[in-house]
Structure 1
Amino acid sequence: MFEKITALELTPFFISFKLASITTVILLIISLFLAWKLSQTRSRYKPIFEAITALPIVLPPSVLGFYILFTLSFHSPIGQFFRDVFGIKLVFNFTGLVVASCFYSLPFMVQPLQSGFEALPKNMLEASYIAGKSKLSTLFRVALPNIKPSMMTAVVITFAHTVGEFGVVLMVGGSIPNQTKTASVAIYEMVEIMNYQGAHLYSGIMVFISFCVLLLVYIFNRNQNSHLGGLS
């Protein structure tokens, strides 16, 4: 067993983890402000923005992947702009995977954060505003320290979801060794050539990693709840 793991090609896992790490950091920065805005606004257009944010959850990966691929390709104004101005190619490379993953995993970061913000006592935020703190200061000094379980859940689920991406990753990045061939794509290719032993090994590692990630979330949230219960 250990000989098989030693001989295993680990590059797809490194690409998956690198992609998930970069995507999670980018989405955390973006989603903090987006989730905060959604949680605080009373606009009648709020459901529209929430629906747009959650759209990747219900859209088939093939549909989402197709539109992202078209948008980032040279056939679209956006793809042409990045090629002509910055000399950047946004499809079939790692950069394109990051962009696609940010779209695909956005709701998994936004929704837990928004729920955490909306669960905060209103008087806590109002007291901050009365004390003269700005909305930005209230976000970072009052709101964020009090939604640690929600933030942990958002970060971990986004990371795990990105690691397991397949359809969008395959359409936008293809399967270029050492560049865009992630672990999920590698498993798909092994099944195609009927290398079930390799597919079992890769899949087993992914199941183990996913379980450990979720276990950490539940342990962290349980400890946080126990701590809050002790304070009360």
Structure 2
Amino acid sequence: MFSLDFMRDNFTFILSALPITLLITFLSLIFSMLLGGVLAWVIIRDLPYVKYLVRVFISFGRSIPMLVMLYFVFYVWPWLANGLFGGPQDTPFSYKLSPLVAAVAAFSVVFSAYFAETFRSAWNAVEKGQREAAWSIGLTGFTQFRRIIFPQAAVSALPNYTSVLIDLIKDTSLVYTITVVDVMAKANIAAARGFHYVEAYCIVLIIYIALCLVLTRILRHTEVYLSNRWKSHAAKVVPSHSFWGKKYVQK
């Protein structure tokens, strides 16, 4: 029978693992964005030969299921690396990663592919004529990026960025399968005490819905703010003390 008392008594216990979920999300977000930025840069610069390797990597990252990647990094990688590189005493555990590190590594590989596509599409959304106009008035490549391209690309990227971030948060519910004690792991521990699995998973559902709604709302407000900020400067010359930096001519 469904027990509200169980939910009341165990909500705090399950919620106590939320910092682990947030830590994995934060670290994975940082590393996947950095790697995704590099991958997007290679494609945008159209570097010969390297761009083909990057495209293969992106296709790989977007094709493999998250659970399979977690298992690969945590269980398969130690044996594979030991066979390729050898190890202390030739044991299959010399390259074994901790559950937390394995989770972050797996998420970083998979989601870097999604962020690479997000960044690339945001870059392409900025009209080529604006970059040409920036060159014509003497702006360097970095200055163009900081004052003209990035403000517009950020607005274009935010919807896809929000979607990828929400997917990342939701996929963290899988890390308990490699022994990370997260929200799902705590829910299973609590549920096993009296076989209240329905109630325990309802608590997890509430936590994830609340977390995703808060982040979605924050990013939505950020998108609206940046969009309005950019539009207010789009038809005029921006002074050097403005939000976006020094003067430039906007088409």
When normalised by structure 2's length, the TM-score is 0.68
- Partner of residue 144 from structure 1, selected from 114, 129, 150: 150
Supply the distance in 1 between the matched residues of 2:104 and 2:181 (Cα, whole angstroms): 13
Question: In the superposition, relative to structure 1, how do residues 125 and 78 fare at CA in structure 2: closer, same or farther (>3 Å)?
Answer: farther
Supply the distance in 1 between the matched residues of 2:83 and 2:155 (Cα, whole angstroms): 37
Q: Partner of 2:72 in structure 1? A: 67
Q: How does 1:11-160 map to 2 (within 5 A)?
A: 11-41=16-46, 49-50=54-55, 52-70=57-75, 72-77=77-82, 90-129=96-135, 131=138, 133-134=140-141, 138-153=144-159, 156-160=162-166
Q: Unaligned 5+ residue runs, structure 1?
A: none
What amino acid sits opposite 1:205 in the alignment?
Answer: I
What amino acid sits opposite 2:19 in the alignment?
Answer: F
Tell me the percent identity.
9
Q: Partner of 1:209 in structure 2? A: 211
Question: In the superposition, relative to structure 1, how do residues 83 and 98 fare at CA in structure 2: closer, same or farther (>3 Å)?
Answer: farther
Range with greater deviation from structure 2 (212-221 or 198-207): 212-221
Render the CA deviation track for 1:106-127: whole Å, top value 9, x for unaligned: 2332222111101111123334
Question: In the superposition, relative to structure 1, how do residues 129 and 88 fare at CA in structure 2: closer, same or farther (>3 Å)?
Answer: farther
2:14–2:187 contact (8 Å) kept in structure 1: no
Deviation at 1:19, TM superposition (A): 0.7
Question: In the superposition, relative to structure 1, how do residues 23 and 225 fare at CA in structure 2: closer, same or farther (>3 Å)?
Answer: same
What amino acid sits opposite 2:131 in the alignment?
Answer: L
Render the CA deviation track for 1:41-84: whole Å, top value 9, x for unaligned: 28698577335314333323343334333553144249967979
Q: Count the aligned residue pairs.
A: 223
What amino acid sits opposite 2:219 in the alignment?
Answer: V
Deviation at 1:17, TM superposition (A): 0.2
RMSD: 3.8
Question: In the superposition, relative to structure 1, how do residues 141 and 70 fare at CA in structure 2: closer, same or farther (>3 Å)?
Answer: farther
What amino acid sits opposite 1:218 in the alignment?
Answer: R
Question: In the superposition, relative to structure 1, how do residues 59 and 5 fare at CA in structure 2: closer, same or farther (>3 Å)?
Answer: same
Q: Partner of 2:225 in structure 1? A: 223
1:170–1:185 contact (8 Å) kept in structure 2: yes
Supply the distance in 2 between the matched residues of 1:4 and 1:79 (Cα, whole angstroms): 50
Supply the distance in 1 between the matched residues of 2:216 and 2:172 (Cα, whole angstroms): 20
Render the CA deviation track for 1:158-214: whole Å, top value 9, x for unaligned: 44333222586345xx22xxxx22224445666784422121112111112112222
When normalised by structure 1's length, the TM-score is 0.73
2:40–2:116 contact (8 Å) kept in structure 1: yes
Deviation at 1:96, TM superposition (A): 1.4
Range with greater deviation from structure 2 (73-82 or 221-230): 73-82
Range with greater deviation from structure 2 (205-214 or 57-66): 57-66
Q: Helix, strand or coil: the match of 2:25?
A: helix
1:190–1:199 contact (8 Å) kept in structure 2: no
Deviation at 1:95, TM superposition (A): 1.4
What amino acid sits opposite 2:13 in the alignment?
Answer: L
Q: Helix, strand or coil: the match of 1:91?
A: coil
Supply the distance in 2 between the matched residues of 1:125 and 1:159 (Cα, whole angstroms): 29
Question: In the superposition, relative to structure 1, how do residues 89 and 51 fare at CA in structure 2: closer, same or farther (>3 Å)?
Answer: closer
1:70–1:76 contact (8 Å) kept in structure 2: no
